[in-house]
């Protein structure tokens, strides 16, 4: 067996199951989960229609292997979306590549980029808390993750300045998540400029995970990594690849569709890797993806649904918890009341027992570094269900937070 597998950590939801083991939730209340970040708004019919139409229209469509590089129509639709959303002109053939959702792509990209044999070892830098795939990708590529805490005092900006030069010197890949999961923080242009300067100095590649980019609460849409690069005159997107997805934008996590775009010198070896790995997208999924990327009306409607929901739910929780409307995404990242002395796991367990509401303890989404877990004392609440259900959950959480003692 691959010995590196033994370094993988249990997934947050496995840890949640263990935390709740032996506890019976209050049977008088129906269960509500704010645990998993799985979109629950309706999938737009234009996507399901395209899916079924292409499945029936393809005479021998399923009798041929799709190309790993994707159909030209899909790459064009992705490039056109980049143009409309960010004002960018990318070459659809050399700078864009479809992927089967960003999860697999974020993982596979580390296997493409990291050279574990390099003298001094390989490092992969990522935020803390973070999406756990970055860590597994780094470990299975033979690299050591270096976790960089997000700072609650600065709107959860990741404290990149704390990374020593000696670590940057070994870094081969940096994961950026903007808008962030779980914090919802969007990285501003000056931070991008600092990271690009570090990338130029130390030669590492930046993987920019942007799958929450279309769910936002300010007037201005979140700045994208490629957009930041272009604004700073880096029109070749040197050492930068962005990862985006239809899962959250179009409420299709089951479709498994996204794409990467950026530096052609990264896209080309990634395509090579994927050809061997088997990363081609089904033609049926490609047809549905073209329909989804080409339509913005459903995305605006989806965003309005989240805005209305967050406008109702956030004030209920703000009254009793350290929480506020994030820049973007569909999570609330809340501090537990002081009485719990930072024990987010105990808070989540007691909340489940007494009010039958599932939230994710923040410590499960982060790693302890020098004795500090930057997720400790916080909980993540995914507001993915409909407004009425999220509101009921928030009212229960608020009651619990106001009354319950550890």
Ligand X SMILES: Cc1ncc(COP(=O)(O)O)c(C=O)c1O
The C-alpha angle 163, 244, 138, rounded to 5 degrees, equals 40
From the CB of 257, what's the least distance to ligand X, in Å? 8
Residue 69 or 181 having the CB closest to ligand X = 181
Residue 103 or 349 having the CB closest to ligand X = 103
From the CB of 136, what's the least distance to ligand X, in Å? 12
Structure tokens at 226: 């490629």
Alpha-carbon 290 to chain mean position: 22
Phi, psi angle pair for 389, to nearest 5°: -70, -45
Indicate the helix (H) or strand (E) that contains 241: strand 240-245
From the CB of 58, what's the least distance to ligand X, in Å? 24
Residue 251 or 373 having the CB closest to ligand X = 251
CB 163 within 8 A of CB 145: no
Alpha-carbon 279 to chain mean position: 20
Residue 202 or 273 having the CB closest to ligand X = 273
CB 143 within 8 A of CB 191: no
Residue 214 or 400 having the CB closest to ligand X = 214
CB 159 within 8 A of CB 148: yes
From the CB of 37, what's the least distance to ligand X, in Å? 5
From the CB of 5, what's the least distance to ligand X, in Å? 21
Residue 116 or 254 having the CB closest to ligand X = 254
The answer for 130, left when phi > 0, alpha when psi is -120 to 50, beta otherwise, is beta
Residue 172 or 245 having the CB closest to ligand X = 245
From the CB of 387, what's the least distance to ligand X, in Å? 21
Residue numbers of the site for ligand X (CB under 6 A)? Answer: 37, 101-103, 131, 177, 181, 209, 211, 245, 247, 253, 258
From the CB of 227, what's the least distance to ligand X, in Å? 18
From the CB of 404, what's the least distance to ligand X, in Å? 29
Residue 215 or 393 having the CB closest to ligand X = 215
Q: How far is CA 74 from CA 57, 78, 287, 304, in A?
A: 17, 6, 7, 27
CB 82 within 8 A of CB 90: yes
Residue 247 or 356 having the CB closest to ligand X = 247
From the CB of 352, what's the least distance to ligand X, in Å? 21
DSSP 8-state assignment for residue 319: T
From the CB of 334, what's the least distance to ligand X, in Å? 18
Surface-to-core class of residue 159, CB atoms within 10 Å of its CB (0-12 exposed, 13-18 middle, 19+ buried): middle
Residue 177 or 398 having the CB closest to ligand X = 177
Q: For residues 93 and 267, give the distance between their C-alpha atoms in angstroms, rounded to a whole number.
A: 10
Structure tokens at 84: 């409309």
Q: For residues 66 and 176, give the distance between their C-alpha atoms in angstroms, rounded to a whole number.
A: 30
Structure tokens at 81: 């979306």
> Of the candidates 283, 237, 252, which has an alpha carbon nearest to the alpha carbon of residue 73?
283
Structure tokens at 261: 């775009």
> Of the candidates 401, 249, 218, 398, which has an alpha carbon nearest to the alpha carbon of residue 313?
398
Q: For residues 91 and 277, give the distance between their C-alpha atoms in angstroms, rounded to a whole number.
A: 24
Residue 108 or 205 having the CB closest to ligand X = 108
From the CB of 23, what's the least distance to ligand X, in Å? 26
In this structure, the number of other CB atoms found within 10 A of the CB of residue 333 comes to 26
């Amino acid at each position: 067996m691959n010995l590196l597998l033994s370094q993988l950590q249990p997934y947050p939801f496995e840890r949640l199951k263990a935390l709740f083991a032996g506890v019976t939730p209050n049977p008088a209340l129906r269960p509500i989960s704010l645990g998993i970040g799985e979109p629950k708004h309706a999938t737009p019919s234009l996507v399901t229609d395209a899916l079924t139409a292409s499945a029936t229209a393809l005479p021998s469509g399923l009798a041929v292997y799709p190309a790993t590089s994707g159909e030209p129509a899909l790459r064009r639709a992705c490039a056109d979306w980049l143009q409309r959303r960010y004002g960018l002109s990318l070459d659809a053939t050399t700078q864009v590549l479809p992927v089967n959702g960003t999860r697999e792509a974020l993982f596979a990209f580390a296997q493409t980029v990291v050279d574990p044999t390099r003298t001094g070892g390989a490092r992969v830098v990522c935020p803390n808390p973070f999406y756990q795939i970055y860590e597994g990708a780094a470990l299975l590529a033979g690299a050591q993750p270096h976790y960089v805490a997000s700072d609650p005092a600065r709107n959860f900006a990741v404290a990149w300045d704390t990374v020593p030069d000696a670590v940057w010197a070994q870094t081969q890949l940096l994961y950026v998540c903007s808008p962030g999961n779980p914090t919802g923080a969007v990285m501003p242009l000056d931070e991008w400029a600092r990271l690009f300067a570090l990338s130029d100095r130390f030669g590492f590649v930046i993987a920019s995970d942007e799958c929450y980019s279309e769910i936002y609460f300010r007037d201005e849409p979140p700045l994208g990594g490629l957009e930041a690069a272009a604004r700073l005159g880096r029109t070749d997107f040197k050492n930068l690849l962005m990862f985006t997805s239809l899962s959250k934008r179009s409420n299709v996590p089951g479709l498994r569709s996204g794409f990467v775009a950026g530096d052609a010198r990264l896209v080309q070896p990634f395509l090579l890797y994927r050809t061997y790995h088997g990363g081609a997208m089904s033609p049926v999924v490609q047809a549905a993806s073209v329909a989804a990327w080409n339509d913005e009306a459903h995305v605006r409607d989806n965003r309005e649904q989240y805005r209305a929901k967050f406008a109702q739910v956030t004030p209920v929780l703000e009254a009793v918890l350290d929480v506020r409307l994030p820049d973007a995404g569909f999570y609330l990242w809340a501090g537990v009341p002081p009485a719990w002395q930072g024990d987010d796991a105990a808070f989540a367990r007691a909340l489940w027992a007494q009010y039958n509401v599932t939230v994710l303890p923040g410590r499960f989404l982060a790693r302890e570094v020098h004795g500090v877990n930057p997720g400790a004392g916080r909980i993540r609440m995914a507001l993915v269900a409909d407004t009425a259900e999220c509101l009921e959950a928030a009212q229960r959480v608020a009651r619990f937070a106001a009354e319950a003692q550890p």
